[in-house]
Amino acid sequence: MMDTQLLISGVIFGLSIGSIFFLMAIGLSLCFGLMRIISLDQLLYYSVGAFISYSIFVATGNTWIGMLGGMAAAGLVSFGVERFVYLRIYERDITFTMIASFAILIAGVGAIKYIWGLVPRPAPIPIETQVIILGTEIPVYRLMVIGISFLVYFGIWLFLNRTITGKAIRAGIEDVEHVEGLGINVYQLFTITFIIAGTLSGLAGALHAPLIMVDPHMGLHVLAFVFMVVIIGGLGSIKGTLASAFIVGQVISLGSLIYAPLAQMAPFAIMLLILLIKPTGLYGSKLLKR
């Protein structure tokens, strides 16, 4: 029987890693939902956010400024990639854009290696205090990461449901041709969505950096898990992405406590089980052709 304190720690760890997965996967989900592209380069912006956050901390000694800088840098890089690459290939087949995005990811990893080298670097935890929950010491920083993910979820929900631009993006996810017919410039919506996605990926990297070693391959390490989150939740679904991120996070965390190899195997089993029951994912809808 699992120790209660170990179980509580495992649940909190699963929620925190699930929060990171959500921040990364939401960009992939939004990009696919609106633009019908599989933006693997979101994992590059995750790495950029982590490395810029680390570098600003080294220069200033302030972790919070580093995190804000990491977000800003990731958003700026994503804007440049969207303008110079994606704007030219939006009309191409989805397979072409996926290969192009993977090429961007690999090229970006090479650039990170050139600038920062190959050696993993430790980033400091901004809050080292702990709180007692049901007799178990829980790091406050992990609770903060969980809280930020919920704030981001509600922020995106409000943006998509309460603003004109957000409503246009929602309409574009359902039927982009109808939105074009209303005289809305969908490519501006693409740019806004892509910058939001890249910035959130950068936030994920900046938040994750203190919990792991900052490594040039950190984006590639989580590639499979982020894909699982998007697929399980349903492509284009914000609510599904949040739910599936926490499911995958818990499976990884609790699975590793039961039997270490389960941390790698169990998420794939959960994904296959859900897809057998509901092929479109938890909250996914049928793929609409553009």
3-state DSSP helix/strand/coil % of the chain, to nearest 5: 75, 5, 20
Architecture of domain 4-277: Orthogonal Bundle (1.10)
* pLDDT band, very low/low/confident/very high, at 290 (cuts 50, 70, 90): very low
Question: Does residue 194 have a pLDDT over 60?
Answer: yes
Find tokens 């959960």 and name the residue: 270
Q: Which residue has the higher pLDDT, 260 or 88?
A: 88
Cα separation of 34 and 174, whole Å?
Answer: 8
Average pLDDT value for the chain? 87
Cα separation of 33 and 175, whole Å?
Answer: 10
Cα separation of 27 and 8, whole Å?
Answer: 30
Question: Does residue 285 have a pLDDT over 70?
Answer: no
Burial class from Cβ neighbours inside 10 Å (0-12, 13-18, 19+) for residue 88 reads exposed
Q: How far is CA 72 from CA 64, 75, 76, 78, 176, in A?
A: 13, 5, 6, 10, 28
Claim: this prediction has a pTM higher than 0.85: yes
210 DSSP 8-state letter: G
